[in-house]
Chain A
Amino acid sequence: GQQLNQSPQSMFIQEGEDVSMNCTSSSIFNTWLWYKQDPGEGPVLLIALYKAGELTSNGRLTAQFGITRKDSFLNISASIPSDVGIYFCAGHNAGNMLTFGGGTRLMVKP
């Protein structure tokens, strides 16, 4: 089946630093998504990417959909303590079924 490889698995950074994480897939997706999960909560959508090569920003977040449709990255600039959580990439093809990456656990030191 489809698999998404997400890296790094975890990051421990200083407040104010920029963060970068990425996902690669063994197969093509029509849509790439980035979610954030806070402790004790369900995932919340941050950014959706619909076209190969698309670069999209949401505040301090920037994500890109790779040209090959098999990869995506998420950047967070000037991290703050509330950025702590687990970030998941997810791929979507027809039928609204999502395939999730393994997650990147972000920890921010004030």
Chain B
Amino acid sequence: DTAVSQTPKYLVTQMGNDKSIKCEQNLGHDTMYWYKQDSKKFLKIMFSYNNKELIINETVPNRFSPKSPDKAHLNLHINSLELGDSAVYFCASSQEGGTEYNEQFFGPGTRLTVL
């Protein structure tokens, strides 16, 4: 019954490694997102993706890339992990946004720790 799910819940890895976080939604939404929450709990949008376009927050390093095998999934790939990448990453989904806001539903988060 989980609307937006993420795996893994926790990820501990070494600097320089490449890792992926998976996200799946069963809400039939057509837009998915990735957010980063730092140690001070500040939430920042990283990507917004639907089948028409990918919107990238300009502050996101190009080591981060979203990949969508189908409409229900948006995975986050991170290359050459750095210490500063340690954070909680949230996936979210909504119906396609226009001028009006469509509620975003968030996953439970993935806590990434880079050693």
Measuring CB to CB, which residues of chain A are less than 8 angstroms from any residue of chain B? 30-31, 33, 37, 40-45, 48, 50, 86, 88, 92, 94-100, 102-103, 105
Contacts and interface: CB of A to CB of B under 8 A. Distances in A.
B55 A95 contact: yes
B86 interface: no
Contact of A96 (B40, B90, B102, B106): B102
Interface residues of B, number: 26
Interface string B7-38: 00000000000000000000000010000000
Main secondary structure of the interface of B (DSSP, over half): loop
A40 to B, nearest CB: 7
Contacts of A45: 103-104
Contacts of B31: 96
Interface of B: 4, 31, 40-45, 48, 55, 90, 92, 94, 96-104, 106-109
Contacts of B103: 45, 48
21 contacts: A31-B101, A33-B101, A37-B41, A40-B108, A40-B109, A41-B109, A42-B92, A42-B107, A43-B43, A43-B106, A48-B101, A48-B103, A95-B55, A96-B31, A96-B94, A96-B101, A97-B55, A98-B104, A102-B40, A102-B42, A103-B41
